Each structure stands twice: as structure tokens, then as C-alpha cells.
Structure 1
Amino acid sequence: MQIHHTGYAPDSVAVIGSGGKADGMLQKRLQRAGFRVQLLSLGELDKLRPGAMVVNAICLGGSEAMDRALETSRRLAAEDTGPLVHISSYRVFPGGTRKRYDEEDEPAPTTDQGEMWLACEEALRDRPGVTILRFGWLVDRSEQALLGRILKGILSGKSLQLDDSSSGSPVTLADLCRVVVAVVQQLASGAPESGVYHYGAADACTALEFGREVLERAQSFYDEDFGVALEPAPGAENRSAVLASEKLRDVFGIQQRSWRQGLTRQVELWLERLGGSQ
């Protein structure tokens, strides 16, 4: 039997997931890149292959998975594995500023969820070979995320009020997976094995700006107007948290993409998922 050599070392990756949509996407993309992939939960960490690289993606399960995420991070800190890529969030920062947060800025979360994101990072901070990837706000992690909420509102014919005070760096799951797989490939090819890196869209926006683009894309699949109004939410507090991504580009050569890139296809897929396609 012919053995296929990818040149990766290690060539085995374990994705620690929460059972959500991101797990399968990461698994498939890593397999297409040539890795042998394990998809494990917190209760299956004893099945980790010796020396395998680990992608700790359990935090993507949302607030309901954060307790498990913290326990997983603590467990992984004591595991003898290869390089570890930990997926984190802009939520470790307080927000409310028009400046862009870079990797040198000190985390100072102001929400319970932000505290948990930071606790997961800190549990892994002293472990050798940890790469922390902080992403901007995920627009399509679940039906409760921004894209799903907007499209459900559009399909129900209800007008929506969206934040137009806070700017962010939106990221789709597809783009997150692209970045994670690119980092894994380079780590397995000899790139530096530790550090903190940020990634967000090349162009920041507010939830209202994002919603208006989504509405425009959704209209393109129908012959009639939805008759839905998108309006600024009154009294919205400025929680802007835009991430600077130059360090990731300079070290790994990963270019930012606009959040508009591929949005039409994302809208189409979510309309199908929500039962709204015709």
C-alpha cells in the first residue's frame, strides 16, 4: 500500500469541539489539507494521539459550553501533546473605544462571558507551544448569532432594531476555519509554535450596517420586497472592539478578507437552513 507523506510534522490533529457546526467544518478542512484528524469532546481527551497537534475549539460552543471550555483548557495544559492552537475571542477586551486592539493590549473583560474567555487563555498561558487566535465577532455560529437572527426576522416580516453604535470585526465560520487551518499547516511546517494573534474582517462595521447588507443579499433570492425595516437600536452603548490583524499577516502571511466576501453564499445557505428558500 502506498503511503501518502504530507511533510507535516505532526501530521495528526485533534479538534476538541463542543458538538457545534464549527467542529465538522474544521475537521473536513483539515482533512482536505492532508492531516489525520480526530474530533474529540472533553470526555474523550484520553484518546489523544501522542504528539498530535491540538485545536482547542470548544469555546465556539457559546456561553453554554464555557464551563466545559475552561475545564478542557485546564486539562490540555497538563497534556503532553504537540503544538496547541487555542481559539479565543475579542471579548477579552472591554470594548467601547474606536481604537483597534492589537496583541500588546492588556485584556480587561467587562462581561461574565469575557471573563470566561480570558480564563481559558490564562489556563493555557504557561503551557509550551500554545498559539492563541483571537477572532472578531462570529456572525454565523448558530441561529442565535447575528446572521441567523437577522434572517429569521426578515423571514417573519418583523422590523429589527440593531446596534449602530458599536463597530466590530465580523468573521464567518468559513473564514475562521480558513485561518485556523492555514496556521495549523504552517505550525506543522516549522513556523514558531507560540504567540497571540488577532484576526477580524478587513473592514469593520456595526450590526446595523451588517444587517442592511444581509437584507440586500436576501432580497436577491426573491422577486418581491420583504417590507422589513432595519433601524438603529435606541440607547445602544458603544462597545466597539475592532481587532488589528497585522501580526498574523506578518508572521503567517494570512491576509484579511472583507466580511462582504462570500456573504451572498452564506445568506443562501442560511435561508435554506431556516427553511426560507423558494
Structure 2
Amino acid sequence: MQIHHTGYAPDSVAVIGSGSKVDGMLQKRLQRAGFRVQLLNADELDQLRSGAIVVNAICLGGSETMDGALQACRTLAASETGPLVHISSYRVFPGGTRKRYDEDDEPAPNSEQGEMWLACEEALRGRAGVTTLRFGWLVDRNEQALLGRILAGILSGKSLELDDQSRGSPVTLTDLCRVVVAVVQQLASGALQSGTYHYGAADACTAYEFGREVLERAQSFYDEDFGVALSPLPEAENHSAVLASEKLRDVFGIQQRSWRQGLTRQVELWLERLGSTK
């Protein structure tokens, strides 16, 4: 049997997942790129292949899994594997500013969830070869995330009030996987660029701006009007947290994409998932 050699060294990647949708997406994207992939949970870290690149996606499971995620990070900090790519979040910053956060800005979370994201980063800080990727808010993760909540409201015929003060850097799961796989490919090709990097959409927006775009895409699938009104949330506080992504571009050559790219397909899939019968 002919063996296909990708040229990657190592060619083995372990994805530490939390049972969320992104676990399988990362696994498939990495396999298509030519890697041998283990998909492990927090209780299976003793099965890590020696020398494998580790993609630590366990924090993406949400607030209910963060205690287990912190313990997994502590275990990974003491493990003897290859480079480790740790997925983190903009939530390590307090927000509330119109400036963009870059990698030199000091984290100062002002929420319990943000403190847990930062604790996971700090648990890995003493480990060699860690590449931390902080992403903007994820728009299509679950029904409690913004995209699912907006579409559920639209289908129920309820008018929605959305924050039009706080700007963020949306990231789709598809785009997150693209960025992670691109970083893994370069690490497996000899790049020695550990450190912290930010990634968010090329075009920042508020929840209200995002919602208007989602309503327009959803409306395109129907002949009649939803009869739903979107309006800015009155007296909303500014919790803006836009990420600067130039460092990732300059070091890894990874270009930003618009959150609008592929949005129509995401909306279509969510409408099917929510059982639209309108």
C-alpha cells in the first residue's frame, strides 16, 4: 500500500475537546490537511501520543465546563508533547473601550467567565511551545449564542432589542477552524512562533448591526415579511472588545475574513435546525 507523506513533522495532532460542535469540525479539517488526529476529552489525556501537536479546544464548551477545562490545562502544562495550540477568548479583557486590544495589552477580566479563560491561559504559561489564540465572540456556537437567539426570536415573531453600543470581532466556527489549522500546519512545518495572537473578523460590529444582517438573510428564504422589528437596546452600556489581528497576519500570514462571509448558509442551517415552518 502506498503511504502518502505530507512532510509534516510531527504529522500527529491531538484535539482536546469538550463535546461541542467545534471538536468534530477541527478533527475533519485537520484530517483533510493530512494529519493523523486523535480526538480526546479531559479524561483521556494519558492517551496523548508522544510528540504530537496538541490543539486545546476544551474551553469552547462553555461556562459549565470551565472547571474541568482548568484542570485539563494544568495537566497539559506538565505533559511531554509537541507544540500546544491553546484556544482562548477576548473575554480576558474588560471591554468598554473603543480602542482595539492587541497582544501587549494586559488582561483584566471583569466577569467570572473571563477570569476562568485567563486562569486557563495562566495555567499553561510556564510550558514551553504554547501558542495561544484569542478569538472574538463566536456567532454560531449554540442556541444561547447571538445568532441562535436572534433567529429564535425572529421565528417566534418577537421584536428584538439588541446592543448597539458594544462593538466586537465576530468569528464563525468555520473561520476559527481555518485559523487553527493554518497555525498547526506551520508549526508542523518547522515554525517556532509560540506566543499569544489575536483573531477577529475584518469588520467589527455591534449586536444590533449583526442582527439586522441576520434578519435580511433570513428574510431572503421567504416570500412574506417576518413582521419583526429590530431596535437598539436603550441605555446599553459600552462593553466593546475589538481585537487587533495584525500580529497573526504578520507572523503566520493569516488574513482576516468578514463575518458576513458564509452568513447566508449559516442562517439557512440554523433555520432548519430550529424547525422553521413559516
Answer yes or no: same fold by TM over 0.5. Answer: yes
Match of 2:118 in 1: 118
8 Å contact from structure 1 (residues 271, 277) kept in 2: no
Q: Does 1:242 align with 2:242?
A: yes
C-alpha separation in 2, matches of 1:192 and 1:267: 38
State how 1:80-95 maps to structure 2 within 5 Å. 80-95=80-95
Q: 1:18-72: CA deviations, max 9, x gaps?
A: 0010000000000000000011000011111111100000111111111111011
| 1:43–1:255 Cα change, 3 Å | same
Give unmatched runs, 5+ long, in structure 2.
Answer: none
Report the residue type matching 1:139 in the other structure.
Answer: V
Q: In structure 2, the residue corresponding to 1:133 is in which secondary structure?
A: strand
Report the residue type matching 1:162 in the other structure.
Answer: L
Q: Post-superposition shift, 1:4?
A: 1.1
C-alpha separation in 2, matches of 1:254 and 1:114: 26
C-alpha separation in 2, matches of 1:173 and 1:274: 18
Q: 1:213-245: CA deviations, max 9, x gaps?
A: 000000001111100111111221100000000
Q: 1:6-26: CA deviations, max 9, x gaps?
A: 101110000000001000000
8 Å contact from structure 1 (residues 14, 37) kept in 2: yes
Q: 1:89-138: CA deviations, max 9, x gaps?
A: 00000100000000000000000000000000000011000000000000
Moved beyond 6 Å, runs of 4+? none
Report the residue type matching 2:222 in the other structure.
Answer: Y
C-alpha separation in 1, matches of 2:7 and 2:247: 26
Q: Does 1:59 align with 2:59?
A: yes
Match of 2:155 in 1: 155
Match of 2:204 in 1: 204
Q: Post-superposition shift, 1:270?
A: 1.1
TM-score w.r.t. the length of structure 1 is 0.99
Match of 2:215 in 1: 215
The number of equivalent residue pairs is: 278
Work out the percentage of aligned pairs sharing the same amino acid. 86
Match of 2:270 in 1: 270
Match of 2:189 in 1: 189
Q: In structure 1, the residue corresponding to 2:212 is in which secondary structure?
A: helix
